[in-house]
Amino acid sequence: MTKVQFAPISSAVAGAAAATLLGVVAAHWYQPWIPAVGWSAALSYLVISNILLLRGLQHRHTVRFGPANVVTAVRSTLVGVISGIVVASFVAPIPVGLLVALLVPTLLLDGVDGWVARRTNSASELGARFDMEVDAFLLLVLSAYVSQTLGIWVLAIGVMRYAFVAAGWMFPWLRRQLPYRYWRKVVTAVQGIALTIAATGFLPLLDVALIAIALALLVESFGRDVVWLATRRSMPIEVVGADDGGHTDAAGRVNVKANDAEHA
């Protein structure tokens, strides 16, 4: 059996760990504590996400991790640290500056991995799925943090994708392959930007409006896709399963189309 080359994974995680270690040190100087619940959440995410990634690599008999996946692995590590900070915020004050400082590169790297994949011609369904799951979890974590100040309704942004997936278990026609729409990526980017701005607390009078607009765009994106799928529910279903992938959309689904895969 072909074995995965783990050197790129190790270097990516090591680099991300070094970068986030500085953030942890900064947090310690800001406030001399690191809540155990925060550490537990961060470590749990990193362990589970890496186990799932390795399973995906082995299932596909992948022999090369790919430069774009290295970028996504770094971003995933940052998401783990962000998750720990957000969970800690539910039990004690956190350094918001540190949270934002981690969010900015995390959002910027979301565009880097796709660019690297196109430059290296290394797009793959696994890479797109990896990128999608990191995006989805980041939005869930951010919406949980912002909901503490703006209200529980903000959680709709982070939960919507997972609710759609759950609905697909009950209604198989929701798992039909969707046509490519670049608008989905735009909507996803808007969610991250709006939630980050709201997390800073710098624009208290505009936070609600920004999040409301972002949520409205997300509902529109989901709604359009659901209508498209509903009009074709009587046709033979080509189910998009857990092992299929390609293009990441705002609804958190993966369209199986090799040319649209974001990275490998």
Contact 64, 169 (CB under 8 A): no
State residue 208's pLDDT score. Answer: 93
- Say yes or no to pLDDT of 219 above 50: yes
Q: What pLDDT, in 10s, does the model give residues 11-59?
A: 555 555 655 555 555 555 555 556 778 888 888 888 888 888 888 777 7
Q: 0.95 cut: is pTM over it?
A: no
Contact 82, 106 (CB under 8 A): yes
Q: Please state, rounded to an integer, the average pLDDT across all residues of the chain.
A: 78
Element (H, E) at 226: helix 207-230
Q: Count Cβ neighbours within 10 Å for each residue of 99-133 and write b for 16 or more, e otherwise.
A: beebbeebbebbebbbebbeeeebbbbbbbbbbbb
Q: What pLDDT, in 10s, does the model give residues 140-195?
A: 999 999 999 999 999 999 999 999 999 999 998 898 888 888 888 899 999 999 99
Query: Could you tell me the fold of the domain covering 7-260?
Result: Four Helix Bundle (Hemerythrin (Met), subunit A) (1.20.120)
Amino acid 242 reads A
